[in-house]
Amino acid sequence: MERQTKPNDRIPMSDEGIVALYFERSEQAIGETDFKYGKYLFSIAYHILHHSLDCEECVNDTYLGAWNAMPPTRPNVLKAFLTTIARRIAIKRYHSNTRKSVIPSELTVSLSELEDILADDGDTGGGEALEAQRLGRVLSDFVSALPRRKRYIFMSRYYAAEPIDTIAGELGVSRSTVNKELAAIRSALKERLESEGYLI
Amino acid sequence: MKKQEWNEGMNHIDPELVTFYVEEKDRLAKKRKAPAVWLRMGAVAACAALILGAVVALPMMWEKDPGPLSTPSETSADASALPTPGETAAGETETGKISQGEPWWGNPPYSAQGIAELFGKTLSDSISTNAYTKVYAPDPRYLYIYPMSDDEYLDLYRCQEINAPPINKEEMKGFVDRVLPKLAAAMNVDVPEYEIRERAANSLWESSLHIYQDIGNKRISVNQGQTSCSFGIYSNSNGGKLMLDGEAVEVDQRLSDEEIIDSLQSVKEKLFDIFGVSFTDAKIYRGYDSYSENGATFINVYFYNEAAHPLNQKRSRPWSDYIVIDFDNFSNYADDVVSDSVLTVVSINYYQYRIDVSKQYVPFANTKKISLEEAEALLYQGYVFGNHACALCMAQQEEITFDGYDFVGMEYVFGRDYEKSVPSVGVPFYVFYKEIGTASNGNIIYAKTYVAAVEVEGYEAYFEQQKSQHRN
């Protein structure tokens, strides 16, 4: 899908309005979504893939996913809904790409920080295939219990694969502060996963 | 764990956390654009946090039995009945009703913003609250509405600092060695070997001991922290029914709560024997949603001693030792079984305190209750709190009126001290319910909203600033 140029005088439509367009099956929904969130969704994909063409395709697939999901889904927070779709598509492509060769994306770097928790892809991890939903629930419980700043740092780094410098800039702290907090989170997470029976 | 499994797990992270992430990112971006404004807001937030601490809603119930449901007062609402800031003179709340020490306020102790913070800060640190929360039930019995107190003065609670004993491996081993053989015998499996692992203290939690061990086709999870110890028996996703002495642990949701408790008599006695305890009381909580076609989404059965703590009759989860049997009825995994009749157990947990918990949550002051008529006046003016702190969700709420509401009860709402991971201050609220429709699965949709049952100052100013998001 061709990306639109953002005219200076155009005001983004409200989320409710965009969702209404999806429900009316109006193709304008895609254009409005792209106008309002296209750049943001591209950045989500880019942190994971580091490949502009792949990212463009991911963003377009995100719009297709949104088009297929709405209706019946009516998201409470459109941006979060689109983020979830974009990340899933980008992760799928990431794994497809890494089967061909290692890609030097921010996701690769953020995953390397988790070396105490994650095995190499060739490793079975010690047994049965893990159930993604259950792991998602364990991770959600863990992240929800974190103090607000740590929660944001975790989501930024390990969900959205944001660069550490970006996170530090957003929070107005030094890079080393973010690194220290990430280390504390990883340590706590490792304990939690072990206590939940995940073999690490 | 493989990287792909990690990424798949992250793809299933709670959508609310994704919402938190995108909202927080936007908020931080705005903050960078307007640092001076943010600093002022931050200072206000910090002051508020010092007053009440970081908090999250934790409903506290008033009585064990729902009893007859209350209906709207016959007295018409009158805005002139509203308490005004400073109306209560210093000392008026000191009528010999103080439970511990002297009250630390004279005038109304809480601001409207402070009350809002009791409900907030779960995800976005917003201090707004919804105008109402939707709750679902097939009939009002399962709203578990608790009657109002007749007392003129109401206790305020807080969590006390208590010196907890250090974690103790020998104590834990003794506990497990008493329980495990009996459990294994009841399950007709061998007693498994186990390893006690220590989790060091860090910035997120205190040091603790834990065991995670398969037993037959189930798992046990035993944890000992400084304040409590728990022993859980969990179904694996492919573990089938939990059988104790050949009897399946299950309930028929078509039975009444009383009938379910009776049906679990034999299971209860087995559990008492396994854990070496005896409790005199039992209660049930059922959960419902708007889309499940199989009745309750969960049923929790508690065995406990109501007299062990005064707060036990004022909320769902006991504050003293208890056993809870959790029957889930929704699909976490592909092979989960859901049913509109018999539900199988998902987990059984025994919680045992290692401290004198009766001294942990205590009334620290006593304040005059506002009348139902005064509360109704606040309700009709929209001076309400909704038990959920998402500004976007709030903005998307359909406007409703609570005129002619259906039921009213009382609940305590406890804030939460995030640093200590414990509830902080507990404040009583009137809770109003209004039927607003029927869900696609036939459950009745109720709007539920809270009005503080004690005097609060600053309503007008607070809700004026909330108008842009607060539609009621």
CA-based nearest distance B39→chain A, Å: 12
How many angstroms separate the CA of residue A125 from the nearest CA in chain B?
A: 4
Size of interface A-B (CB pairs under 8 A): 165
Q: Do A135 and B5 touch (CB under 8 A)?
A: yes
Instruction: Tell me if B180 sits within 8 A of B218, measured CB to CB.
Output: no
Strands B110-111, B456-457: pairing is: parallel
What's the average model confidence in pLDDT over A15-24?
88
Which residues on adjacent β-strands are paired with residue B241? Answer: none
Residue B450 buriedness (CB in 10 A; 0-12 / 13-18 / 19+)? buried
pLDDT, tens digit (0-9, with 9 covering 90-100), for B278-290: 999 999 999 888 8
CB atoms B3 and A111 under 8 Å: yes
Interval A109-154: pLDDT, tens:
666 677 666 655 443 333 334 477 788 888 888 898 888 888 999 9
Dihedral angle over CA of A61, A63, A69, A73, nearest 10: 140
Please name the residue of chain B whose CA is at the shortest distance from the CA of residue A107: B7
Q: pLDDT per residue over B403-438, tens digit each? A: 999 999 998 888 766 555 566 788 899 999 999 999
Angle (CA) B347-B348-B354 rounded to 5° is 130
B29 C-beta neighbours (distance < 10 Å), count: 10
The pLDDT score that the predictor gives to residue B81 is 26
Using a cut of 0.90, tell me whether the model's pTM lies above it.
Answer: no
Q: What is the pLDDT of residues B354-408, one digit of tens each?
A: 988 877 777 777 788 899 999 999 999 989 887 655 555 555 567 888 999 999 9
- Residue B10 to residue A159, Cβ atoms within 8 A: yes
- Chain B neighbours among A 114-143 (CB < 8 Å)? 114, 117-121, 123-125, 129-140, 143
Q: Is the pLDDT of residue B51 over 50?
A: no
Complete DSSP assignment for B107-146: S--EEHHHHHHHH--SSS------S-EEEEESSGGGG---
> What percent of chain B clears pLDDT 70, i.e. is strictly above it?
71
pLDDT at B393: 55
